[in-house]
Each structure stands twice: as structure tokens, then as C-alpha cells.
Chains A and B, each alone.
Chain A
Amino acid sequence: MQYKSQAVAMPYFIAAIGLFVGQIIFGLIMGLQYVVGDFLFPEIPFNVARMVHTNLLIVWLLFGFMGAAYYLVPEETETELFSPKLGLAMFWIFLVAGAATILGYLLVPYSTLASMTGNDILATMGREFLEQPLLTKIGIVIVALAFLFNITMTVLKGRKTVISIVLLMGLWGLAIFFLFSFYNPVNLVRDKFYWWWVVHLWVEGVWELIMAALLAFVLIKVTGVDREVIEKWLYVIITLALVTGIIGTGHHYFWIGTPEYWQWWGSIFSALEPIPFFAMTVFAFNMVNRRRREHPNRAAVLWALGTGVMAFLGAGVWGFLHTLAPVNYYTHGSQITAAHGHMAFYGAYVMVVLTVISYAMPILRGRAANGTKAQVVEMWAFWLMTIAMVFITLFLTAAGILQVWLQRVSDTPMSFMATQDQLTLFYWMREWAGVVFFIGLLTYLASFFIKGDAKDVKA
């Protein structure tokens, strides 16, 4: 580790992985509830399990992004963090607030949680992914501001690279668009309209900047390719991401009561959203093929390449499947959406955070790379989780196609619940694929505890 303050990243990474485990456990609970409806009822109803599953995902990815920023920025700017203490303080605040929120979901009825936390002063709860109590939302803003202050001050006093500036733009965008979670107009159309400014403009906008910057950083480190080359790619990727992604928001505006032209704008621009992801894949493979050194951390290289491929498949291809308005007319809100959501989040954001952790964690623990045995186990975890996710996606896609057919296309359409009954086989297969994913995750955890011939080659 080149800078002492990079150590701030370590607790963030550990918390991220811990919450990741929690997310998957709740995913498994919920997957089982699809087929055994009263499993764990009334202790953990489906809607609560779903809320915990999605909220944990977002929170652990945020922990991952922050950890990655604390690790990356000192090295990029060639200076110590502005305030490591602030970074650590924010870690504990965020962790306690996050844990309290999840416990709130699990222990108190949601309506009670709402009245306990001031939702009657400013109503922001009850909306998918933004279920957090007002106090938690305010907490997130405070943590984000302190974090951005810390990172921005570090960048300002140090060397300014394209990577750190793109990362900073992404992180600022993340914080700014989160502010729309406080805006909750009574009109349902307007509510949904701005709700997507958080949800879509995060994952199909500013998060792509964060992802591209993190990927570029790791690729520079593990391939030794010239920074100038990687920066050019970064420019192209982020421009394409923003050009397609911002107006691409329109693919959520097809049927919510907005004017009809959104069907054209949304279809055309979002149909091009796979391009930046494709560029990222080409970028990753191109850089690794042109590498100027063999980095001892083979696992990190595997994660970086995997991110490119899986993000393109999950976000690009599976997104394109149902993004055109005439197709989406039938598929909207079906299991096809769930299939896309799973592979896109895993392929783009889970994998890019794991890429950074894979690269940075050994260095934070005082070695250039883990020993061969630990790396082999980590690579096993990569394949188990990634293949399991491919199958989860395929089974959900199959369920989605059947669902759309039975419920919406057929001459004698079935009701929602009657259709769900017909999908049971696919839900069971998805659950078993989920179990394999969990085994992969446990393998991943195990890889951190394998001792062996740590590689001391200079990183």
C-alpha cells in the first residue's frame, strides 16, 4: 500500500462483504417464498424480505464504492486522504444507521416504523428501493456529503487524473440524484417520473461513470498499459453512457401517464445503452491482451474481465430484450424485468466492487497478491457465483416468457396468481441456482482465510 490512509478502505470492504452475505440470505428466503408462500410467515413476510434484499444490495454497493474511492483516490492523486478520521467516523455512522434501518424493517411493522421516524413530517417512504425512513435518508445525505467533502478535498490538493475526476463526477451525481428521494409529489405520475431520476439515473447514468473509473484503475494497475490509452477509452465510454443513458430514462416513461413521445425517445436512446457496456468489454479485453506485465493477482484480472462480459450481458443484452416500447407493452414488470435486474446488478456493480476488493484487499493486508491456493479458491468462487447467476437469469427469463404468454398474450389470459402457479418449476430451479450462488459466496469468504505463499512482487 503506497499511502497509509488507503487503509480506511479496509472496514468498508469488510462491511460490504458482510452485507452482501445478508443480501443473499434474504434472497434465498424470498426465492423460497415464491414457491412456499407461507415460509417464515408472519415473522418475515415477502414484502419485508424483498425490501431487505434490495436495500442491503444498495447499501453494500455504496460501502463498496466508498471503500474503492478511499483506496483509489490517494493513489491516483498521489497524496494522503484529506481526513482518514472523517472517513472512519462516517464508516461507523453509516454502518450503525444501515443496521438500525434493516432491524427496523425486520422488527417493527412498516407503518409503525414510518410513524416512529417522522414520515408524517415529510412523507418519503413506501416507494420501491427508497423505503428507508426519513432519518436514514437524511443520514445517507450527511454521510455522502462528508464522504464527498473528504474525497474532493483530497483530489483538489493532489494530482488530478481523468480516473479520479470521472469517479468524482459519478459520486457527486450519485449524491445529487439521491436528493430526488425526498421529493414525493401527490400526483402518482410525477412521483414515478422523479423516482426514476434516482433509480434509473443511478444505475444507467452516474454509476456507470463510477464503474468505468474503477475498472480503468484496476486495469492500469494489473496490465501496466499507458494511462493515456486508458483515459481515451474512459472518455469514449462515459460519453456514450451519458448520451444513451440520460434520455434512455424514457424507457421507464412508456406507460406511467407521460406524453407518448417518450415511447420513441425511450426506445431509441435506451436501445443504444448496450453500446457503452460493449465498449467496456472490448476495453477490458483489449487492455489485458496488450498488457505489459504479468500481475501476480490473477484473480483480480479474472474479475475485471468478468465484469466487462457480465455487465454487457446483464445490463446490455438483457436490458435491450425488453426496452423497445412495443415489446415492453407486454413484458413490463414481469419476471423478465427480474431476470434483467439480477444479471445487470451482479454483472455491472457487484462484480466491479469485487474486482476492486480482489485487487486492493491483498495489498491492504500487506502483500501484492494472495498465494496461489487462495487465488484458486477465489477463482472457484468467481465461476460458481457467475455461472449460478447466469442460470438464475435464464430461469427467470423462461418464467418471464411463460408469464407474459399466459397472462398477457394468450386469447384467454389467466389471472396473475393463476399464472404464478404455472411458473413454479422455474422458481424452484431459480432457488437451487441461488443455493449454488450462496455456496460460491461462502467459497469467496473462505478465500480470505487461506494462508499460503503470499506474493510479494511489488504491486
Chain B
Amino acid sequence: METSTTTLSASPAQAHVHAGPRLAGDLAIWFFILAELLAFGVFFAAYAFTRANNIELFNAEQAALNRNAGALNTVLLLTASYFVVRAVQAAEREASRQCANWLVGAILTGFGFIVVKLGEYAAAFEHNISLSSSPFHMFYLSLTFFHFMHVILGLVILIAMWNGARQGRYRPGDMNGLETGAAYWHMVDLVWLILFPLVYVIH
């Protein structure tokens, strides 16, 4: 993560002139987050559209999913997001060490998600669930896998943030890198909070 405070606006200096509400993180990451949410949004809409035509199949195959694993993963991601929030707050207090420690917590819980998800995939593949075995399976695997890839990217970013925090790179007034990464991680969490009920629970 860079420590630069430049935003997409051509005159970054102006950002500091106005008091009042401020966009956390770099403007560029918000464009990116909106594009990501749009992509997942289109995918969710396609899911809803297909489900409306195959309600019984979707309900039956949804019941076969491991809802406990999904719930556990929800807790893990929410906890990771909480840790990231604490890390940002610590950096605002100029407590770099605590910031780094909170980020370690977030990274570990994030890895917990990966482990649980891999277990779920292993069980699915044992039952010959594939992208072609049914429309529900196609959506289940595609949606969770695309999200899974985002968690991995999120972890890479968290590790970079942890590295930055250990070097004391984030301070009040110089929070751009940390906030940018945190915003991305919360987006990963947010997508899961829609994905989990939609694919695992609602029937």
C-alpha cells in the first residue's frame, strides 16, 4: 500500500481545505469497489432470475449445503472486519504496534475462512458437484469461488497493510493506504453478507 495521499482529483491539496465529511481511502478504490459490487450484483440478479424458474431444484440442492460452515465463515469474516476497524482506530491513535497486531488477527481469521471454504469444496467435489452438474451448483460454485478469490486478494492486501503498520507508515493525516485497503476488505465482507443468506439460507 502506498502512503501517497493523492486522489483522482487533479488538485489533491483541496481535499484538506474543506472540513466535513471525508471519503475514507483513495477515490480510485471506490470506483473499483463500485465496479466489483456491480459485478456481484449482476451475478446475484442472474441467480435470482434462474432460481425463479427452478425453485424446487434450488431448494433441494440448497438444503444439501453445509450451512454451519457458511455461518462459521460469516462469523470469521465479520470478526476480521472488526479487527480491521480496530487496526484503523489504532493507527489514528498513532499506535502502530497495536495496529499491526489487530491486522494479524484479521489475517488469521481471514485464513480461517479459506480453510473452512476449502473443506466445503473438498466435500462438494466428493459428491461430484461441478459447474455442469446443475444450475444451482453452477451458481453456488461460481459465486463462492469468485468471492473466495477476492478473499485471497484481500489477504494479500491485509498482509501489505500489516507490513506497512509494522514500519509505522500510517499516522493521522497519512491514513490513505490503510483506509484504502480496509475499504477493500469491508467490500469482501459485504459481498459475503449478501451471498451467504442468498445461496445458503433463503428458500
Which A residues are closer than 8 A to B by beta carbons? 225-226, 228-229, 232-233, 235-236, 239-240, 243-244, 259-261, 264-265, 267-269, 271-272, 275, 279, 286-287, 290
Of the stretches B6-14, B95-103, B113-121, the one at the interface is: B6-14
**In-complex Cβ contact of A232 among B8, B38, B42, B43 (8 A):** B8
With both beta carbons as reference points, the residue of chain B lying nearest to A292 in the complex is identified as B10
Q: Which of B95-134 contact A (CB under 8 A)?
A: 131-132
- Asked if A232 and B28 make an inter-chain contact with CB atoms under 8 angstroms apart, the answer reads yes
**In-complex Cβ contact of A235 among B7, B28, B139 (8 A):** B28
Q: Which of B124-169 contact A (CB under 8 A)?
A: 131-132, 138-139, 142
- Asked if B39 and A229 make an inter-chain contact with CB atoms under 8 angstroms apart, the answer reads no
How far does the Cβ of B51 sit from chain A's closest Cβ, in whole Å? Answer: 13
- Asked if B32 and A239 make an inter-chain contact with CB atoms under 8 angstroms apart, the answer reads yes
B60 touches A (CB below 8 Å): no
Contacts A261-B142, A265-B142, A272-B39: A232 and B32 contacting too (C-beta < 8 A)?
A: no
- Asked if A264 and B42 make an inter-chain contact with CB atoms under 8 angstroms apart, the answer reads no
| Leading 8 A-B pairs by shortest Cβ distance | A290-B10, A261-B131, A228-B6, A261-B138, A232-B28, A236-B28, A259-B132, A268-B42
A-B contacts, 22 of them at CB < 8 A, read: A228-B4, A228-B6, A229-B6, A229-B8, A232-B7, A232-B27, A232-B28, A233-B8, A240-B32, A240-B35, A243-B39, A259-B132, A260-B132, A261-B131, A261-B138, A261-B142, A267-B46, A268-B39, A268-B42, A268-B43, A275-B35, A286-B10
Given A232-B26, A286-B10, 20 other A-B residues pairs in contact with their CB atoms under 8 A: A225-B10, A229-B9, A232-B6, A232-B8, A232-B27, A236-B28, A239-B32, A240-B32, A243-B39, A244-B39, A260-B138, A261-B131, A268-B39, A268-B42, A272-B35, A272-B39, A272-B42, A275-B35, A279-B31, A287-B10
Which B residues are closer than 8 A to A by beta carbons? 4, 6-10, 26-28, 31-32, 35, 38-39, 42-43, 46, 131-132, 138-139, 142
Residues of A within 8 A of B131 (CB): 259, 261
How far does the Cβ of A215 sit from chain B's closest Cβ, in whole Å? Answer: 16
Residues of A within 8 A of B39 (CB): 243-244, 268-269, 272
How far does the Cβ of B203 sit from chain A's closest Cβ, in whole Å? Answer: 21
Residues of B within 8 A of A286 (CB): 10
How far does the Cβ of A208 sit from chain B's closest Cβ, in whole Å? Answer: 15
Residues of A within 8 A of B46 (CB): 264, 267-268
With both beta carbons as reference points, the residue of chain A lying nearest to B39 in the complex is identified as A272
With both beta carbons as reference points, the residue of chain A lying nearest to B6 in the complex is identified as A228
* C-alpha gap A233/B32 in the complex (Å): 11
How far does the Cβ of B139 sit from chain A's closest Cβ, in whole Å? Answer: 8
How far does the Cβ of A53 sit from chain B's closest Cβ, in whole Å? Answer: 35
* C-alpha gap A416/B9 in the complex (Å): 53
How far does the Cβ of B153 sit from chain A's closest Cβ, in whole Å? Answer: 11
* C-alpha gap A275/B43 in the complex (Å): 16
With both beta carbons as reference points, the residue of chain B lying nearest to A265 in the complex is identified as B142
- Asked if B138 and A264 make an inter-chain contact with CB atoms under 8 angstroms apart, the answer reads yes
With both beta carbons as reference points, the residue of chain A lying nearest to B31 in the complex is identified as A236
Residues of B within 8 A of A267 (CB): 46
* C-alpha gap A235/B27 in the complex (Å): 12
With both beta carbons as reference points, the residue of chain B lying nearest to A269 in the complex is identified as B39
* C-alpha gap A260/B26 in the complex (Å): 39
**In-complex Cβ contact of A243 among B10, B35, B132 (8 A):** B35
How far does the Cβ of A231 sit from chain B's closest Cβ, in whole Å? Answer: 9
Residues of B within 8 A of A275 (CB): 35, 38
Residues of A within 8 A of B4 (CB): 228
* C-alpha gap A287/B10 in the complex (Å): 8
Residues of B within 8 A of A235 (CB): 28
- Asked if B26 and A261 make an inter-chain contact with CB atoms under 8 angstroms apart, the answer reads no
- Asked if A236 and B43 make an inter-chain contact with CB atoms under 8 angstroms apart, the answer reads no
Residues of B within 8 A of A261 (CB): 131-132, 138, 142
* C-alpha gap A271/B38 in the complex (Å): 11
* C-alpha gap A229/B142 in the complex (Å): 35
* C-alpha gap A261/B132 in the complex (Å): 7
* C-alpha gap A24/B10 in the complex (Å): 40
- Asked if A272 and B38 make an inter-chain contact with CB atoms under 8 angstroms apart, the answer reads yes
Residues of A within 8 A of B138 (CB): 260-261, 264
Residues of B within 8 A of A260 (CB): 132, 138
How far does the Cβ of A211 sit from chain B's closest Cβ, in whole Å? Answer: 18
* C-alpha gap A226/B10 in the complex (Å): 7
Residues of B within 8 A of A290 (CB): 10
* C-alpha gap A233/B27 in the complex (Å): 10
* C-alpha gap A240/B34 in the complex (Å): 11
* C-alpha gap A265/B131 in the complex (Å): 11
* C-alpha gap A243/B39 in the complex (Å): 10
Residues of A within 8 A of B132 (CB): 259-261
Residues of B within 8 A of A264 (CB): 46, 138-139, 142
* C-alpha gap A287/B43 in the complex (Å): 33
* C-alpha gap A26/B60 in the complex (Å): 59
* C-alpha gap A251/B9 in the complex (Å): 35
How far does the Cβ of B195 sit from chain A's closest Cβ, in whole Å? Answer: 15
How far does the Cβ of B146 sit from chain A's closest Cβ, in whole Å? Answer: 9
* C-alpha gap A287/B38 in the complex (Å): 25
How far does the Cβ of B113 sit from chain A's closest Cβ, in whole Å? Answer: 21
Residues of B within 8 A of A269 (CB): 39
Residues of A within 8 A of B38 (CB): 272, 275
Residues of B within 8 A of A226 (CB): 6, 10
With both beta carbons as reference points, the residue of chain A lying nearest to B45 in the complex is identified as A268
* C-alpha gap A443/B7 in the complex (Å): 41
Residues of B within 8 A of A268 (CB): 39, 42-43, 46
* C-alpha gap A286/B11 in the complex (Å): 12
* C-alpha gap A259/B131 in the complex (Å): 8
* C-alpha gap A269/B36 in the complex (Å): 11
* C-alpha gap A369/B106 in the complex (Å): 55
Contacts A240-B32, A271-B42, A272-B42: A229 and B26 contacting too (C-beta < 8 A)?
A: no
How far does the Cβ of A252 sit from chain B's closest Cβ, in whole Å? Answer: 18
* C-alpha gap A268/B36 in the complex (Å): 12
